[in-house]
Each structure stands twice: as structure tokens, then as C-alpha cells.
Amino acid sequence: MRVFTFLLLCFCFANKLCGFELQSGDILFQDGSNNGFNSAIRSVTTSIENYHFTHCGIYFVDSIGNSFVIEAISNGVVLTAINDFVNRYLTSDNKPKIVVGRLADSLQSIIPSVMQNALSYLGRNYDNSFDLTNDEIYCSELIYFSYIDNSGINVFSTNPMTFIDINTNETHIYWQKHFNLLGIPVPEGKEGINPGGISKSPKIDILFYYY
């Protein structure tokens, strides 16, 4: 069944039968598995509607028509084949756990420079400390630094980060352990950005829901 699903999704994307055609520069919001990291993200962030995004990447079509997602994952900033990306997390009825956002029409002219910016970060290490001032990159940080308007201003806004569990009103135990292992304090209140926050930005239109 898993192999069949994979082939079906490959066919779907290759032949544009899913009811939606992706464009370079689209932001793919993803809801990950229920592991500790993803669950901890859900516990301290909010997304559009009733979604709980834990990851995001940038859709990219190269010069010969191959489709990828530029994303920052544990291995760093990489190019991932679109079919690998959409099959990473599926619902119980085999739908990709992905929602598509696209820059507003007034900002579409910056897409070529956005793609150049994003590609320039390939090979960077993953930013486990979620620090916008270092040389490492986390998933939504890649979005933040890639989407720059014609005035040189970041399209998406940062906000003070919080690692407080919305259910307990205390710092989530996962994040306490995470930053303790890094040997740094929990960066509560420092400027940052997350997938859910980007999904709620007025600078994008949410155009398609795969699940």
C-alpha cells in the first residue's frame, strides 16, 4: 500500500492531477510526526485555522524542470525531491500533510531573487539554537532570510519566541532539556520566527490544502 501511495503521488504531481499546480517560491507548510521535537513545537506555537505546522520549505523547479523543496532539516539546508517531501508525513487516508502558501500578487516580482537567496544557503548547518544572528539556519529562518522585498526588507516579521507550553503555562520540558544539552539558556522572548507564524502572515495567500 505504501509503495502504491508513493507511485500515485508521483503520478499526481508529475501530471498535475491533484487540483493544484505548484510554483517556484511557494511555501509548503508541513505537519510532522508525533515525535518529541514536533510535539514540542505544536505545544508552543499556533498556525492558521486548526493546523499545527512544525516545518516549512520552499518549492523550487530547476532549469531542466526537476522539482525540489529547499529546506532546513537536521542534516542542514538541502534540496529534497518533491515526491520525497510529500511522502514524508501522510494522514491515515494517505494524504500529504501539507498546506501551500504563496506570496501575494504584489510581491511576486521578488520570486527570482528569493530563489537565489534560498539556494545560497544550501549546505549550511541546522540551527538548533534558533538564533537569527549566527551562521546556522532553521526551517522558518530560511524563509525569513530568503524572502526579501525590492526595498531590502524582510517580507516576514519576527516575534518574541516563547517556549512556554500553551496547556501548562510553564516552559515545556522538552525545550528545557533541549537547550540544557546545548549549554545555553532557553531563549524565551528573543526574536525568532516559526512555521505557524509565517502561515498567518498577511503577505501570503493560503491556496491549497493537501489534507
Which among 104, 103, 101, 98 is positioned nearest to 51, based on CA atoms?
98
Q: What is the mean pLDDT of the chain?
A: 92
pTM of the prediction? 0.91
What is the sign, positive or negative, of the torsion defined by CA atoms of 71, 161, 175, 101?
Answer: negative
Is residue 7 pLDDT above 50, yes or no? no
CB 30 within 8 A of CB 53: yes
How confident is the model at residue 16, as a pLDDT? Answer: 45
Which among 57, 69, 143, 150 is positioned nearest to 109, based on CA atoms?
150
Q: 139 or 50: whose pLDDT is higher? A: 139
DSSP single-letter state for residue 61: E
The Cα 119–Cα 127 span in angstroms is 17
The Cα 201–Cα 136 span in angstroms is 24
